[in-house]
Amino acid sequence: MSVNFSVNNNSAASNILSNLNYVQNNINTSYTQLSSGNSINSAADNPAGYAISQQMTSQVNGLNTAVQNAQQGVSLIQTATGSMNQVEGILQTMNSLAVEAANGTQNTADLNNLQSEMNALVSQVDNTANSTQFNTIHLLNGSSSAVVTLQVGFDSSSLSQLAFSLYNITSASLGVSAASVNITSQSAALSAISAIQSAISLLSSNQASLGSVQDQLNYRITGLQNESQNLSNAQSVITNTNMAAAYTQFSQNQVLQQVGLSMLGQAQQQPAAILKLLS
């Protein structure tokens, strides 16, 4: 077995230095993985895993935003139905006034007083309808779009959207304007009773429709939250650092680095041996 001594090239030292560079890169990667808690911190760590992780991140962010959108939709509906409840209470009072006016025991003065109260209630219906807003959007007077479309998913498909109708509950739309609820005579009061009860039925139907949409949104919120949690868990399997395995690898690389540095020192002494041959 021959021994090759060379002054111009120390192949042993070069090989050890190359190995040390490789080990140092692994140590640097371990530093990043252990300090961040993520095994994938850039595309260079795992190109395929990084791409999948970014897609999942996009979905999770979209789902979380969709939850916020749905919650805002619930708030909008609650605002609308709260005002509709007020109007329904007013209509019930108006119905009582009309029934009272339809009784033949009322004199002209009584009927005029009842009519004044009725007119005030009609004005309150319109005030409620015109003042009900959500984020400056009028909800119940017909001045805004009749259909609200919510984005309740992470993509652009129709399944990620939920549309529902808003209702005009002004006195004219409900058929209980001042002219329709004249109760200054017994016959007029009977007509007013019919108009008011029809308005109550219409308003109740509208409230039921919005209530069903609110139930849909509540179920959708729960589903979105579950889907977001499941995707986050799946993403963590791909990107999170296995701390035990990473620390074991880190310790192994530290040992290799120490051994490599020691061997590099030994290899760098080989040229000095040539001087001894020449002395």
CATH classification at residue 138: 1.20.1330.10
Residues 140 and 222 in one domain: yes
Higher pLDDT, 173 or 3: 173
Mean pLDDT of the chain: 86
- Range of lowest pLDDT (19-23, 61-65, 137-141, 154-158): 19-23
Token pair, residue 257, equals 């680095």
Query: Taking 60 as the threshold, does the pLDDT of residue 3 lie above it?
Result: no
Say if 159 falls within a structural domain.
yes
* Stretch 167-196: mean pLDDT: 95
Distance CA 251, CA 243 (A): 12
How many domains are contained in the chain?
2
Q: Which domain holds residue 132?
A: 53-238
Q: Name every residue whose Cβ is closer than 8 Å to that of residue 33 and which is 6 or more positions away in sequence.
A: 39, 41, 241, 246
Closest C-alpha among 139, 124, 148 to residue 79? 139
Span 164-174, pLDDT tens digits: 999 999 999 99
Span 31-85, pLDDT tens digits: 666 666 676 666 677 788 778 888 888 899 999 999 999 999 999 999 999 999 9
Give the global pTM.
0.74
Span 234-270, pLDDT tens digits: 877 776 665 666 667 767 777 777 776 777 677 667 6
Say if 2 falls within a structural domain.
no
Higher pLDDT, 16 or 222: 222
Span 196-235, pLDDT tens digits: 999 999 999 999 999 999 999 999 999 999 999 998 888 7
Say if 1 falls within a structural domain.
no
Residues 233 and 262 in one domain: no
Residues 176 and 82 in one domain: yes
Residues 86 and 188 in one domain: yes
Place 191 in a pLDDT band, splitting at 50, 70 and 90.
Answer: very high
Reported as half-sphere exposure (CB side, CA atoms, 13 A), residue 55 has a value of 8
Residues 192 and 247 in one domain: no
Residues 123 and 32 in one domain: no
Query: Taking 70 as the threshold, does the pLDDT of residue 108 lie above it?
Result: yes
Say if 45 falls within a structural domain.
no
Residues 230 and 190 in one domain: yes
Residues 99 and 198 in one domain: yes
Place 1 in a pLDDT band, splitting at 50, 70 and 90.
Answer: very low
Q: Name every residue whose Cβ is closer than 8 Å to that of residue 141 and which is 6 or more positions away in sequence.
A: 129, 130, 132, 168, 169, 170
Tell me which H or E stretch contains 228: helix 186-239
Taking CA atoms, 3 is separated from 6, 76, 106, 274, 279, in Å, by: 10, 87, 130, 12, 19
